[in-house]
Chains A and B, each alone.
Chain A
Amino acid sequence: MLYKLWDSDGFWLFRRRPAAIIAALTAIAILFGAIFAPWLVDTNPYDLASFSLMDGLLPPMWEEYGTSRFPLGTDDQGRDMVAAILYGARLSMLIGIVAMAIALVLGVSLGLIAGYYGGRLDAIIMRVADVQLALPAILTALLIDGIARGVLPTAVHQEMRVIVLTTAIALSLWVNFARTARASVFVEKNKEYVQAAMIMGQHPLRVMLWHILPNIMGPLLVIMTVDLASAILLEATLSFLGIGLPADSPSLGTLIRIGMGFLLSGEWWILWVPTMFLVALVVSINILGDFLRDVFNPRLR
């Protein structure tokens, strides 16, 4: 099984692409770091007792006054930057992956239905998608946040912020999936294997899920990676603007927002460390998406 994967054409192409290899290693390292953060670093940036103000504003270890206890320095509260970005990435990636998954399920289902049935149903779904595209993600987030604030008690609302943020991001990403799925279904629907299934009298759900879906997974997989990067970036943007997560549970975007305040006072690392970390994460996911596009496009091989 493993050997078959190693020997497959996709993997062969992968081995000859240094950029893809570096990107994959970076993404895997960040994912690994994020998942195992509690075991990798001994301070918990959410736990005020685990760090001390005495260590505040220490620069990275290679600078003057830097110490090897805090390789990338500390912020004004004395939080270890390494711990902060790993815990931040944990939140960012969690929100990104969940939002992407919701958008995937929602978008692909609607796209399959629109493409398969066509006609009026298609028109309705696609107009909704058009309206969604016209609303910026920030507006969607504000809208949902506003509704949640009005409906829920304040305490619950604070707890629900992650969910609100994830929903907002998912809502602004599903259109991509729906459009791609719909276009692919239009192509597949005219192929003889789908017609054969229709002639046989197969249930439409089976035709969509068993026959069509596996055949349109290629482009969807590419969108998945690209949209994962956008979801993470979107979360960072919203948090940076203060619509997202609060300062006591910092994601990468919140860390960057906090760091902005120190940019002019000389403590550049508080901004730079989370920013570069975010850039590395998003760029490597995008490179992987590009690589996947090549794997699924036989013409580029």
Chain B
Amino acid sequence: MLQVTNLTVKFPSRRGEFTAVENVDISVKPGEIHGLVGESGAGKSTIGAAIIGLLQSPGYVAQGEMSLHDTNLRTLTPAQAHAVRGARISMIFQDPQTSLNPLMRIEDQLIETMQAHEDISDADARDRAVALLSEIGIKNAAERIKAYPHQFSGGMRQRVVIALALCTNPELIIADEPTTALDVAVQSQVLDLIRALADERGIGFILITHDIGVIAQITDKVTVLRGGKVMETGETAKILREPEHPYTQALLAAVPRLDKKIDRFLVPATEADVEAPQIISGIDAEAWLLDGGVQDPIGLQAHDITVKFAGERTSLFRKPDSFTALDSVSLDVRAGTVMGLVGESGSGKSTMAKVLTGLVQPSAGTMTLGNDALPDAKSRARKDQSRRIIQMVFQDPYSSLNSRHRVGALLAEPLWLYGLENDAAKRRALCEAMLSLVGLAPDAIDKYPHQFSGGQRQRIAVARALLARPRFLICDEPTSALDVSIQAQVLNLLKDLQKTFGLTMLFISHNLAVVRQMSDDITVLQGGKVMESGGSEPFFTNPQADYSKNLLSLTPTL
């Protein structure tokens, strides 16, 4: 049905032309789901945009043929392309929050789309829209169709987006990371829906994703991309079982496994522009850290932490109802171990981290760090020693480093703030040593954060945390913004550091496979309540709570 041959897309810039996609061949049959998988910068989304004719300016198709049945997609006039787009090829975007117009009822959005492509009366269009919504699994469709997008949950909203893509009966749907913004349970429902639509309606899908678990779950064929080139293509089952290309093999090896715990991740052989995996060699920094007494592990307990946030104000004269983000959550992180904290979005994981670091004031509960009481946000002084002992690595390395200062200045902050090193020259030497300890070249010290890739930035963030001589490290989704191969490197680094320095760690993640690889104990949160808590291995082999069982069974695996 869809035939793409030899597609090359180029982006001219002031530094010469950048080839985003090079000689890519793809074919999709009716009812087939073709996965495009690759890390960021692989050109996945660019291929999708080229097919539907929505390449971001100044990008252009330099060569290649694209045809849908007997329509040549490359020779269409803008008006013809407009007619094909929507009617014969539709698109599902990543974020259902932004792909629906928040000011229009979904009814109007569906009818508008249908009427843009065919001559159909309002009443007929509405009937078809209602039928479509119930087909897609929205209960009470005749009533719900009058609702606005914000009145639907994330998963339901993505269903509406799918209905919007379907309402013109397209032959091909391009789904660009359709489940990345969704929780696992919802992701699994949306993927089932896509599979069912392909089977029942014979629609061809191109599914763009970075998640190999998603590829394994629903695609028929897969194309592995890297740097705009096809690495390998073929039947999904065959490629995942016996990958031939070394890159595919490495990529698969780097995906954290849910079914067993391994000691270290295999890191894909990287190209010259990505730093080679480095052995810990910063003797200087290592000695300094050990000298600081990091070797005595320290435990942390939290008892019955409750956090309430003010809800929406409904009346000028009444106090707004409060919203309970954490409900009597207790946490026991044993000294020198890694506690995994898992849960879906909104479960209160990050709020817990903020309570421990003193950013959020709990309304009830106590905390202890080692043998001392850990003061809560309001009573924690600016110079409290727990501020040094507890350090945090954040989720997004693009926003956790101040981009306006040099790496050296950022790294030196904890050293002078906590009075650990008062001599500027020594501080600098120590920062350089710490950079090489986390696997970066010491000359990074004079660069700005934007000169580094995501993985390198996360290493800088780790180095900064270590320079406070912490004994308790909180990692809040430290790798969820990173590609799998980079994730493997950063996780290896964290593991090594934890072992070498006897750090106690709270590892927060929504990704169960990652948590299994990292943690000794595990706590599962849902809606601000602890569902299950205990040893990590027993949890993964024999979960107790129904919620945990469900969560585990829905996580896509290879």
Binding site for B on A (CB under 8 A): 12, 191-193, 195-203, 210-211, 214-215
B381: A residues at CB distance < 8 A = 201
Binds A, one of B228-236, B273-281, B400-408: B400-408
A202: B residues at CB distance < 8 A = 413, 417
Q: How far is the CA of A99 from the CA of B394 in the complex (A)?
A: 42
Q: Which of B14, B383, B402 meets A201, CB within 8 Å?
A: B383
Contact with A along B382-409 (1 / 0, CB 8 A): 1110010010101110011111110000
A12: B residues at CB distance < 8 A = 14
Contacts A/B (CB < 8 Å), 23 sampled: A12-B14, A191-B399, A191-B400, A192-B394, A192-B396, A192-B399, A193-B399, A193-B402, A196-B400, A199-B357, A199-B358, A199-B390, A200-B387, A200-B414, A200-B468, A201-B381, A201-B417, A202-B413, A203-B382, A211-B402, A214-B404, A215-B403, A215-B404
B359 at interface by CB-CB < 8 Å: yes
Chain B minimum-CB-distance residue to A214: B404
Chain B minimum-CB-distance residue to A198: B359
Q: How near does chain B come to A299, taking the closest CB pair, in angstroms? A: 12
A193: B residues at CB distance < 8 A = 399-402
Q: How far is the CA of A206 from the CA of B292 in the complex (A)?
A: 26
Q: How far is the CA of A210 from the CA of B399 in the complex (A)?
A: 16
A210: B residues at CB distance < 8 A = 405
Q: How far is the CA of A197 from the CA of B403 in the complex (A)?
A: 14
Determine the main DSSP class of B at the interface with A. loop
Given A193-B400, A195-B394, A215-B403: 5 more A-B contacts, CB < 8 Å: A192-B399, A197-B402, A211-B402, A214-B404, A214-B405
Q: How large is the interface on B (under 10, 10 to 19, 20 to 34, 35 or more residues)?
A: 20 to 34
Chain A minimum-CB-distance residue to B14: A12
Q: How near does chain A come to B188, taking the closest CB pair, in angstroms? A: 30
Contact with A along B524-540 (1 / 0, CB 8 A): 00000000000000000
Q: How near does chain B come to A17, taking the closest CB pair, in angstroms? A: 14
Q: How far is the CA of A192 from the CA of B405 in the complex (A)?
A: 15
Residues B359 and A199 in contact, CB atoms below 8 Å apart: yes
Q: Which of B117-165 contact A (CB under 8 A)?
A: none
Q: How far is the CA of A96 from the CA of B402 in the complex (A)?
A: 33
Interface centre among A195, A201, A203 (most CB of B within 10 A): A201
Q: How near does chain B come to A183, taking the closest CB pair, in angstroms? A: 18
A200: B residues at CB distance < 8 A = 387, 413-414, 417, 468
A214: B residues at CB distance < 8 A = 402, 404-405
Q: Which of A191, A196, A201, A211 meets B392, CB within 8 Å?
A: A196
Known: A192-B394, A196-B394. A201 touches B399 (CB 8 A): no
Residues A199 and B399 in contact, CB atoms below 8 Å apart: no
A203: B residues at CB distance < 8 A = 382
B392: A residues at CB distance < 8 A = 196, 199
Q: How far is the CA of A203 from the CA of B381 in the complex (A)?
A: 11
Q: How far is the CA of A196 from the CA of B405 in the complex (A)?
A: 15
Q: How far is the CA of A192 from the CA of B458 in the complex (A)?
A: 13
Q: Which of B310-339 contact A (CB under 8 A)?
A: none
Interface centre among B381, B383, B414 (most CB of A within 10 A): B414
B359: A residues at CB distance < 8 A = 195, 198-199
Q: How far is the CA of A210 from the CA of B387 in the complex (A)?
A: 20
B414: A residues at CB distance < 8 A = 200
Q: How far is the CA of A260 from the CA of B400 in the complex (A)?
A: 59
3 nearest A-B pairs in the assembled complex, by CB-CB distance: A214-B404, A192-B400, A192-B394
